[in-house]
Amino acid sequence: DSPAAVITIDGPTASGKGTVAHRVAKALGWAVLDSGALYRLTALAALNQGVAAEDEAGVARVAETLDVRFEGPHVYLKGVDVGHEIRREEVGNFASRIAAFPGVRHALLERQRAFRLPPGLVADGRDMGTVVFPDASLKVFLVADVVARAERRRKQLIEKGISANLQDLLRDMRERDARDTERATAPLAPAADAHVLDSSDLTIAETVQAILDFWNKAQAQA
């Protein structure tokens, strides 16, 4: 049996991966894997257990023993719904630091692959097309100008009632981009066979359509 179809959507923070992945999955009737949530869950579990971000072996152990459950839009850590908590900036920053550890990435590998079930999966993250699903049916690398991304993030925060300064967001985003692209293990980079899609001037709907067009074209050729 050939494995279920996978569409991978990788890219930097706030390029729109999560939003677009959910819509593409909905259009196709497929499941979605938010791989960043696994790194955020590991970060939150480490924070809760008082394991420091520098403690590579300790954080890897946390990843290996992670007790998580995904249920629709909900995500549970040890039975507690932490969907909102993992979105905190502190958790995201911790996540981006521990994501550099090979032991952490290794511990999360099979958990991610387990999401691949018929009829198909849309997986978003940093290394979905390069490491986790190298045989994916379609690979997209979603980029957008850093200023456009910072503005999107600011709007997102304002909608949640959180004020945010564009300069601070830009600085944080550049730091996060540097950490994600410069790490030795699974750095953020397009797979050789990825379609690089720049969404700086695209709406969400246009971005989703572009990906569905890639998919339909690939299907027609298969």
Near ligand CDP by CB under 6 A: residue from 49, 65, 203, 219: 203
- Is residue 14 at the binding interface for ligand CDP, with CB under 6 A as the rule? yes
CB 122 within 8 A of CB 24: yes
Q: Which of 23, 116, 139, 152 binds ligand CDP (CB under 6 A)?
A: 152
Nearer to ligand CDP, 1 or 201 (CB): 201
Q: Residue 133 corresponds to which tokens in the numbers above?
A: 């699903």
Residues 6+ apart with CB under 8 A from 27: 208, 212
- Under the criterion CB under 6 A, does residue 156 sit at the interface with ligand CDP? yes
Q: Closest residue (Cβ) to ligand CDP?
A: 36
Sheet holding 74-77, edge to edge: 68-71, 74-77, 80-81
Build a one-symbol-per-residue string for 28-67: x at contacts with ligand CDP by CB under 6 A, - elsewhere: -------xx--xx---------------------------
Is residue 172 a contact point for ligand CDP (CB under 6 A)?
Answer: no
Distances (CA, A) of 26 to 45, 109, 144: 30, 24, 23
Angle, helices 35-49/89-98, rounded to nearest 10 degrees: 100
Give the footprint of ligand CDP on this chain (CB under 6 A): 11, 13-19, 35-36, 39-40, 92, 95-96, 99, 125-127, 152, 156, 176, 180, 199, 202-204, 207
